[in-house]
Amino acid sequence: MSKNFDVVVIGGGPGGYVAAIRAAQLGFSVACIDEWKNAQGGPAPGGTCTNVGCIPSKALLQSSEHYEHANHAFADHGIDVKGLSLNLKQMLARKDTVIKQNNEGILYLLKKNKITFFHGRGSFAKAEGGAYQIQVALAGKDKGAEAITGKHIIIATGSNARALPGAEFDEKQILSNTGALTIDAVPKKLGVIGAGVIGLEMGSVWRRLGAEVTVLEALPTFLAAVDDQISKEAHKLFTKQGLNINLGVKIGAITAGKKGVTVEYVDAKGDAQKTVFDKLIVSIGRTPNTNGLNGESVGLKLDDRGFVAVDDDCKTNLPNVWAVGDVVRGPMLAHKAEEEGVAVAERIAGQHGHVNFNTVPWVIYTSPEIAWVGKTEQQLKAEGIAYKAGTFPFLANGRARALGDTSGMVKFLADAKSDEILGVHIVGPVASELIAEAVVAMEFRASSEDIARICHAHPSLSEATKEAALAVDKRALNF
Ligand code: FAD
Ligand code: NAI
C-alpha cells in the first residue's frame, strides 16, 4: 500500500469524510484518518454528527415523539391505546442501530471511492519536500503507528462539548451531549443548562418520556439568534408543553452527590435558588478540537478562541493545509462542514469551490420544529435595511389541520424596494423540510412574488410558505 497520498484528511466526520469522497471523485489518491471507536473498539466514522450528535438525537426525537403522540394525540384521531408503556432499553438500542447503519454506510462509501481509511489518531510529524508527514497512532487490536505523507492536508477534527468550570462531565450525573443520549432510566427531575439547540432538543426528548425538565439559560432573551417573532412563539409553545424555561440566570456552584446534582443559581429577579436534579445536561456550546493534532510541530496557527485560523477559502497559514467544519469559524453545523469539505476538495483541484454563508439553513428539531435562513427582522432593523414582512399561520392551513399540528407560522422578509427575499423563518410542523424551498429561492435571489406565483400542491404544508410570500404583498388568500 502506498503511504504517499495527494490528500490526507484528518477526521472522518461530515466535514472530513465528505471532503475525502469529493477529492477521490476528482481523481486524487486520498487517505482519511478517524479515531472514533464503537462499543467494540472498531472504527465508527461519521464523527460527532453520526455518533453523538445529529443522527442519534434525531432518532430519539422521533421515538419520543411517537411515544408522546401515542400518549396524548392518538385519542383525538379515534385511536385508543391501552396499556401503553415505554421500553427505553429498546428505544436506545434502536438509536444505536441507526448509528451503526450510518457508520457502516460511511465505511462502504470510503471503500467505494477507493479512499484508504486509517482507524486511529493522526498528528502532524513534520513538513518536508512540499508535503506533510502525518503520524497515525492506530486504534484497535493491531495498535502501532504508521507514517504517511500528504501533499494536501485537510483538518476536519471537529469539536467537543464545553464544560462549566468546576463541573466536569462525568457522563453519569453531569452529562454532555454524549451522556444525554444514553440515560438508561427516565430521570424524575432533569436539569439543563443552556437553552440552545442541544438543550431544547434533548430537553424535549426527556420531557416527552416523562422527566420534569428545568432549563437554565444565562441570556435574558430566548433563542437570541432566532427571529424575535418566531422565538416568542416557540417559547410560548415549549412552555405550554411543560418545559420549565428560566432565562437570565447566573449559574453558581454545581455539586454532584448521592442524592443528585445540586445547582445553585441566581434567577432573573436576583433571588438565590438551589435545585437538586437527578441528572444535569450541560449544553452551553462547543469548543474546537485540536487535541493531539500536534499542529505546533509545523507552526499551524490557531485563532484566539482556539479554532484553526482560516481565510474565506478554508486555507490555513500553512501552504496546502486546509481546515473545515466545527474546527474553524462559522456555524457548527454538519451541512456547513460538508459544504466546506466539498469546496476545499474542488479548490485543491483548481476549481472554484464556493460556500454561501448567507444561505446556510438552521433547524432546531423540537416539536414544532424551528427553521430559518437569511436575516432576522431584528438584524434587518439593526442594519437599517428597509423590508416588508409577511406571515401565515399553520392554523389556517388545511394539511396542518388534517395532521392535527397547527402550531406556528411561516414568515417572509423581503427587501422593501426590490422584493428580494432576505430571510424566511418557520416554526411549525416539518419546518426542516419546508425551509429547503426558501434556501433554493434565496440562492437564486428570488423575490417573494416569485414564490407567491409558484403553484404549490394542495393540501400541503408548503402552501403556508406560498401564503406567507403572498402576505408580503398583503394578499394572502386563506387568512
Ligand atoms: P466532527 O463531526 O466532530 O468529526 C470530527 C472527527 O474527527 C471525529 O470523528 C473525531 O473523532 C475525529 N478526530 C479528531 N481529531 C482527530 C485526530 N487527530 N485524528 C483522527 N481523528 C480525529 N448539526 C446539524 O447540522 N444538524 C443537526 O441536527 C445537528 N445535531 C447535533 C446534535 C448534537 C447533540 C450535537 C453535539 C451536534 C449536532 N450538530 C448538528 C452539529 C454537528 O454534529 C457538527 O456540526 C458536525 O459533526 C461537524 O462536523 P465535523 O466533520 O467538523 O466534525
Ligand atoms: P448553543 O450555542 O446552541 O447554545 C448554548 C446556550 O447556552 C446559549 O443559549 C447560551 O446563551 C447558553 N449559555 C452559555 N453559557 C452559559 C452559562 N454559563 N449558563 C447558562 N447558559 C449558558 O450550544 P449547544 O446547545 O451546546 O449546541 C452546540 C452547537 O451544536 C450548536 O450551536 C449547533 O451549532 C450544534 N447543534 C446543532 C443542532 C441542529 O442543527 N439541530 C442540534 C444540536 C447541536
Ligand 2 pocket, 193 CB below 6 A? yes
pLDDT value at residue 143: 72
Q: Is 51 exposed, middle or buried (0-12, 13-18, 19+ CB in 10 A)?
A: buried
Distances from the Cα of 475 to the Cα of 67, 452, 463, angstroms:
40, 9, 14
pLDDT value at residue 2: 57
- Ligand 2 atom closest to the CA of 223, numbered from 1: 9
Query: Can you give the pLDDT of all 479 residues of the chain as single tens digits?
Result: 559 999 999 999 999 999 999 999 999 999 999 999 999 999 999 999 999 999 999 999 999 999 999 999 999 999 999 999 999 999 999 999 999 999 999 999 999 999 999 999 999 999 988 899 999 999 976 679 999 999 999 999 999 999 999 999 999 999 999 999 999 999 999 999 999 999 999 999 999 999 999 999 999 999 999 999 999 999 999 999 999 999 999 999 999 999 999 999 999 999 999 999 999 999 999 999 999 999 999 999 999 999 999 999 999 999 999 999 999 999 999 999 999 999 999 999 999 999 999 999 999 999 999 999 999 999 999 999 999 999 999 999 999 999 999 999 999 999 999 999 999 999 999 999 999 999 999 999 999 999 999 999 999 999 999 999 999 999 999 99
Question: How far apart are the CA of 326 and the centre of ligand 1, in A?
Answer: 7
Q: How far apart are CA 100 and CA 110, in angstroms?
A: 15
Q: Mutate which of 164, 197, 201 to test ligand 2's pocket (most atoms within 8 Å of Cβ)? A: 197
Distances from the Cα of 436 to the Cα of 182, 431, 441, angstroms:
31, 9, 9
Nearest to 282 by CA among 165, 368, 159, 182: 165
Q: Mutate which of 284, 357, 365 to test ligand 2's pocket (most atoms within 8 Å of Cβ)? A: 284
C-alpha cell at 212: 420534569
pLDDT value at residue 21: 98
Positions of E strands within 11-102: 30-34
DSSP string, 135-177: EEEE-SSS-EEEEEEEEEEEE---EEEPPBTTB---SSSEE-H
Question: How far apart are the CA of 332 and the centre of ligand 1, in A?
Answer: 8
Query: For ligand 2, atom 35, which residue shows the shortest CA distance?
Result: 332
pLDDT value at residue 363: 98
Question: How far apart are the CA of 158 and the centre of ligand 1, in A?
Answer: 5
Ligand 1 pocket, 53 CB below 6 A? yes
Q: Is 128 exposed, middle or buried (0-12, 13-18, 19+ CB in 10 A)?
A: exposed
Q: How far apart are CA 35 and CA 51, in angstroms?
A: 12
pLDDT value at residue 141: 64
458 carries an active-site annotation:
yes
Q: How far apart are CA 433 and CA 365, in angstroms?
A: 11
Give phi and psi for 175, each to the nearest 5: -110, 140
Ligand 1 pocket, 245 CB below 6 A? no
Query: For ligand 2, atom 43, which residue shows the shortest CA distance?
Result: 198
Q: Mutate which of 58, 164, 283, 307 to test ligand 2's pocket (most atoms within 8 Å of Cβ)? A: 283
CA angle 23, 27, 28 (to 5 degrees): 60
- Ligand 2 atom closest to the CA of 249, numbered from 1: 20
Ligand 1 pocket, 54 CB below 6 A? yes
